[in-house]
Amino acid sequence: MNRLFKWLGLSKHDALKRNRQFFYDLNWNKPLEDYDFVVFDTELTGLDPRRDEIVSIGAVKVRNLRIALGRNFFCYAQPNQPLPKNSTLIHNITPSQIVDAPPLQDILPDFVDFIHGAVVVGHFVSIDLSFLNRATRDHMGGKIKNPIVDTMKMAQYYEDHRHRHYYEDAASNLSFSLNGLAKKYGLPLFEKHDALEDAMQTAYLFLFLIKRFRNLGISTLRDLFRGQKMAAFSSDQDSYTA
């Protein structure tokens, strides 16, 4: 579809152009509380980005390093193929729940507007991002350009720092799953495999880690992306080099 956009001479969707324009002159040196963050999650029909599809998107906004209550995004999306039974066993989304859901292409512009101007956060976010960017390429003519933070990589950096600097025993059996980290850090627990609930769970983890990172001298967006071993930048490297 992206090739079709180019072949027909069609420009990127206005929401994508606004998104791209915002980050051209991003100031990376402001305190972290000065940035908006959007924490998101998706539920999928499977894990093959060439064949499977997004069936649900959930997201919450974080402003001034606080969850912005009431500023949520949630929707079901109607896939092009019948919903596989094995995916329902994971996320509990049934065909009856999505029978009247709009197709993903009708949802994407609203979601791109929702993340406009925000640093996007997810847990093991590369999977969600690959599906999201494939969808925006196919239906909107391009990819999102938001900086991307991965809370799993943040947790790996934090645990590595504790081990190296405080001589704590490395937890070889530590789970870096979202639920495993929430339990380890004593965070409120939300329902697993629900896009909005997982987004909220990730938001709590993100804020917990940001508070710990301040003790490590990480106070700006540039610091966050330059953190040793963090590798949390999964947007286009040629577009964003902090």
* CA–CA dist 145, 19 (Å, integer): 7
pLDDT at residue 237 greater than cutoff 70: no
Q: What percent of the chain has pLDDT over 70?
A: 84
pLDDT score of 97: 84
Give which of 203, 224, 240 is closest to 123, Cα–Cα.
Answer: 203
* CA–CA dist 14, 11 (Å, integer): 8
* CA–CA dist 232, 235 (Å, integer): 9
pLDDT at residue 42 greater than cutoff 50: yes
Q: Which comes out higher in pLDDT, residue 117 or 95?
A: 117
Q: How many domains in the chain? A: 1
Give which of 242, 47, 12 is closest to 138, Cα–Cα.
Answer: 12
Structure tokens at 84: 């596989």
* CA–CA dist 128, 197 (Å, integer): 15
For residue 241, is it within any domain? no
Name the DSSP class of 145: -
Task: State the DSSP string of 52-75.
Answer: --EEEEEEEEEETTEEEEEEEEEE
For residue 240, is it within any domain? no
What is the extent of the structural domain holding 188? 2-226
For residue 72, is it within any domain? yes
Distance set, CA 114 to CA 39, 105, 169, 208 (Å): 11, 15, 42, 23
For residue 242, is it within any domain? no
For residue 206, is it within any domain? yes
For residue 134, is it within any domain? yes
Instruction: State the CATH number of the domain containing residue 192.
Output: 3.30.420.10
* CA–CA dist 55, 93 (Å, integer): 8
For residue 89, is it within any domain? yes
Give which of 133, 149, 148, 150 is closest to 16, Cα–Cα.
Answer: 133
Summarize pLDDT for 147-183 with one digit per residue, the tens: 999 999 999 889 888 877 665 555 556 789 999 999 9
Structure tokens at 22: 């915002």
